[in-house]
Amino acid sequence: MRNERKPVLFPTLLLFFGFGTDEGIFSPDVPVTRERLAAMLYRYAGSLGLGFEGAWEFRLDYSDAADISEYAREAMCWMTMNGILHGVGDGTAAPQGAASRAQIAAMLRAFCAAIV
């Protein structure tokens, strides 16, 4: 039997920053969407004193920007403005789409570079 290691970073982030499913249930086996990942990282950035302050306005030029959930809009704006979040290649942000392993790695690398 093969010993499979499961990543703990995102379940830990979900738990630490208060994310769960609609019912408030911790759901580590549910794929992380791009907007949920942005919101988690943005909450972490906020805990470091980063993020938007006061009145701000940032227009997202993704063709599917209207599909971004209200809870994630500020995070998606901040992540885009700081070069952490990019479209998926077709002019969309795919906010409701599951973040691939490569997308997660790219966002984490860009996030770490942006906050250091």
What's the whole-model pTM score? 0.78
Whole-number pLDDT of residue 12: 52
SS3 23: coil
Whole-angstrom Cα distance, residue 77 to residue 71? 12
pLDDT > 80? residue 26: no
Q: Output the average pLDDT for the chain.
A: 82
The residue with tokens 């791009």 is 34
Whole-number pLDDT of residue 85: 94
* Residue 51 near residue 42 (C-beta atoms within 8 A): yes
Report CA 114 to chain centroid distance, whole Å: 14
What residue spans define the domains of the chain? 31-115
